[in-house]
Amino acid sequence: MDWQSQFEQWQKAMAANKLTEANCLLEDARKAIPKTKGEDKWHWFEAALQKLETSGFVACVFAKHPIPKSLMQPFLSAGVQFGNASTIKAFVIPCLESFGHDIVDEWFSSHGTDSFSIQEKAEMARYWYPAARHNRRKT
């Protein structure tokens, strides 16, 4: 799948308030998530999570799927960088469901707890912990 093209089509549908079309594009993208092993298949997602414009699309695509281990750090970084009290959940909950509370907590603890911003975002993230399902997804 050409992920950039899929994102652009989704973005146009969202901008035009064509929500049914946008949801169909997301479902197509979810079905196209790579199933095979290999880190190179995640490059577009890693790059997309570093940009505000595309990070939300990636979060939507993976909302109902396990997060690959190699994308956990980019997902949580995007949550810290782009998330606010309500939107950080789109990045945190999939990681909680994929890896569990301890691993997500460990990530927040090891990524700059001296920084007020990171501490504040960690607290925002912890607010959403109860919303995550307790059983971990298989990755």
Query: What three-state secondary structure class fits 131?
Result: helix
Q: Alpha-carbon distance 71 to 49, whole Å? A: 9
pLDDT at residue 36, as a whole number = 67
Query: Does the CA dihedral 131-97-48-4 come out positive or negative?
Result: negative
pLDDT at residue 138, as a whole number = 46
Q: 135 pLDDT exceeds 90?
A: no
* CB within 8 Å of 87: residues ≥ 6 apart: 56
pLDDT at residue 38, as a whole number = 63
Confidence of residue 139 (pLDDT cuts 50, 70, 90): very low
Neighbouring C-beta atoms of residue 46, cutoff 10 Å: 16
pLDDT at residue 45, as a whole number = 96
Q: Round to the nearest angstrom and report the end-to-end CA distance of the chain.
A: 21
For the chain, give every domain's residue range. 33-131
Say which residue the tokens 């301890």 belong to: 102
Write out pLDDT tens, residues 83-131.
887 888 999 999 999 999 899 988 888 875 455 467 777 888 888 888 7
Q: 55 pLDDT exceeds 70?
A: yes
Higher model confidence: residue 135 or residue 56? Answer: 56
Write out pLDDT tens, residues 57-80.
999 999 988 999 999 999 999 988
pLDDT at residue 124, as a whole number = 82
